[in-house]
Structure 1
Amino acid sequence: MNARKANQLAAKGGEIEDQATERLPAEGLSADDSPRKAIQSVEIGVRVIRALMDCPKDGAHLREVAEKSGLSRSQAHRYLLAFVNTGVVEQNSQNGRYALGAFSVRIGMAALARVEPVRIAGDNLESLLVELQTTGLLSVWGDYGPTVIRWIDGGLPLLTSLHVGSVLPLQASSTGILFLTHCSRDWTRRVIEQERASGLVVSDDELERQIVQARELGYATTQGTVVPGLSALSVPVHDSENRLVATMSVLSRVQDQHFYLNPMIEKIRSAAIEASRAIGWQG
């Protein structure tokens, strides 16, 4: 058999496999259900994404994805390959595991930013940053700790590796200190243990000192602990139940000391208070 004929047969086999796959009932639907007309291959692809969402942080092997999504290994592999090619999924070249990729992070962050309390906080932060002509970020609690969901350039370009989707260190960032201040220790303990296991260790006494200070002042600051030469001042945004829903952070160069004068601090705190009250906070 020549190569051309073999390729034609392989393509035909793939087409047949696709058709068989697309006839699988969507998850949660029986064969007797009548869902709205849709592209079933997309629905099946979502099964693969869900399977990866339920996997550990370091990802899953092909057989695990196939089992969780209810597909054969060859079917799961073809979907994974398409997702890898588009950045939705990434594959670890060392161990072959698959995990959600950078584009999946962007999709999640974009969806989260549309949640009403987060949108309000983001709009207030953007107005503040334009007025101050500096850069800032909005963060929420994610699966792995404080996570940046909006990066807003208000006029001061900063060279940094931080971006939407970045996870900030709980023990060494002003954002992290606010989550330690306002969230349950049971909630944050796992992330602290992971950070310490990876080599980032801040003593319990020092963390407690910073927590007490943040509670008294209503904000937290760090200088160069996340990015050398970069300072941050972070303020909390609360909801109607007095829960921390996000943090607003204003960034500056360490030498820009005017960002730590009382008038500037009060302006930043006022923006967070205004956002909190718009959400329903009564404080």
Structure 2
Amino acid sequence: MTDSNPATAPRRQKVQAAEVGTDILTGLAELAPATSLSRLAEHLGMPASKVHRYLQALIASGFAEQDAQTNYYGLGPAALFVGLAALGRLDVVKLATPYLAQLRDELNETCFLAVWGNRGPAVVHVEQAIRAVTLVTQVGSVLPLLNSSTGLVCNAFLPDAETAALREEELRLPAAPSPAALAATMSELQRNHIQAVHGSLMAGVNALSAPLFAGGQRLAGVITVVGAAPGFMAESDGEAARRLLEVAEAISTRMGAQFPR
């Protein structure tokens, strides 16, 4: 039975418009970081003209944006703000923040927290070193799975079902490691719980990452120290690695997990 009261029609229309808008935002998130209008419309099963109309409203409110060069659409800063506000409610973000600030002060290198998103590990909190240049450490950055220390930790400790599709995609890239080399890296990482990379994302920029565990020994996030050589050499058996592991253990303990060291 439908509501035929004319007085409630505007309210119904607003609800329907909100539902369409959230569907489009969800579609943009699922097709992140950017997508064409035609692909988005096909993904949502909506007419392109309808999607375009709603996208213009979302752009005006800051929830979507369009790249002027490619004409592709993606989530805007307002959507990022809402997403980060939701992430801020997670225990891992609340618990890790003061530890990362202390680690940043001790090492004078940029430290950040990443959590697993729909397209890989996403940076959700950064403690920027004063002398450091911002590199791949901006909040909202999505890091590669096999070409970053953060991604490699995710690949080693997340369930295979969550990483398999992205891993297979990246293994087809020209600079991808061989399956044998990747397996060796994962085996060592699962033993030592520390991953170093040297210049993988940017020449002269090194990083160290360690996993954070929550109850049930599930991976809750990854903490990373990143800096430029020669000041930061990211030695997996050095002092920075030792302190990173201590911080990872402290945060994991606070989250009800036993850090496997």
TM-score bucket (shorter structure): 0.7 to 0.9
Q: CA deviation at 1:72?
A: 11
**From 81, 88, 113, the counterpart of 1:138:** 113
1:110-121 to structure 2, matched below 5 A, reads 110-121=85-96
Task: Tell me which structure has the larger Cα radius of gyration.
Answer: 1
Secondary structure in structure 2 of the residue aligned to 1:241 = helix
**From 208, 215, 219, the counterpart of 1:240:** 215
* Residue 4 (structure 2) aligns with: none
* Residue 207 (structure 1) aligns with: 182
1:264 lines up with 2:257 in the alignment = no
Q: CA deviation at 1:279?
A: 0.7
Contact kept? 1:121, 1:276, Cα under 8 Å: no
TM-score w.r.t. length of structure 1: 0.74
Contact kept? 1:48, 1:65, Cα under 8 Å: no
1:224 lines up with 2:191 in the alignment = no
Residue 282 to residue 90, structure 1, CA distance change in 2 (3 Å): same
% of aligned pairs identical? Answer: 26
Give a deviation string over 1:64-92, Cα, whole Å, max 9, x none. Answer: 69966xx9956x65542232134311246
TM-score w.r.t. length of structure 2: 0.80
Residue 267 to residue 83, structure 1, CA distance change in 2 (3 Å): same
Q: CA deviation at 1:63?
A: 5.9
**From 130, 139, 143, the counterpart of 1:168:** 143
* Residue 26 (structure 2) aligns with: 53
After alignment, is 96-105 or 167-176 more displaced? 96-105
1:276 lines up with 2:249 in the alignment = no
Rounded to whole Å, the distance in 1 between the matches of 2:232 and 2:54 is 52
Contact kept? 1:137, 1:249, Cα under 8 Å: yes
Give a deviation string over 1:4-47, Cα, whole Å, max 9, x none. Answer: xxxxxxxxxxxxxxx975542626xxxxxxxxxxxxxxxx3463
1:26 lines up with 2:2 in the alignment = no
Rounded to whole Å, the distance in 1 between the matches of 2:43 and 2:184 is 45
Secondary structure in structure 2 of the residue aligned to 1:150 = strand
**From 155, 179, 196, the counterpart of 2:130:** 155
Contact kept? 2:206, 2:233, Cα under 8 Å: no
Letter in 1 for 2:106: E
Rounded to whole Å, the distance in 2 between the matches of 1:255 and 1:265 is 16
Contact kept? 1:52, 1:65, Cα under 8 Å: no
Q: CA RMSD in A?
A: 3.1
Q: CA deviation at 1:235?
A: 0.8
Rounded to whole Å, the distance in 2 between the matches of 1:195 and 1:72 is 31
Rounded to whole Å, the distance in 2 between the matches of 1:264 and 1:94 is 41
1:184 lines up with 2:159 in the alignment = yes
Q: CA deviation at 1:141?
A: 0.6
Letter in 1 for 2:13: L
Residue 269 to residue 143, structure 1, CA distance change in 2 (3 Å): same
Letter in 1 for 2:26: M
Residue 64 to residue 122, structure 1, CA distance change in 2 (3 Å): same
Contact kept? 1:235, 1:268, Cα under 8 Å: yes
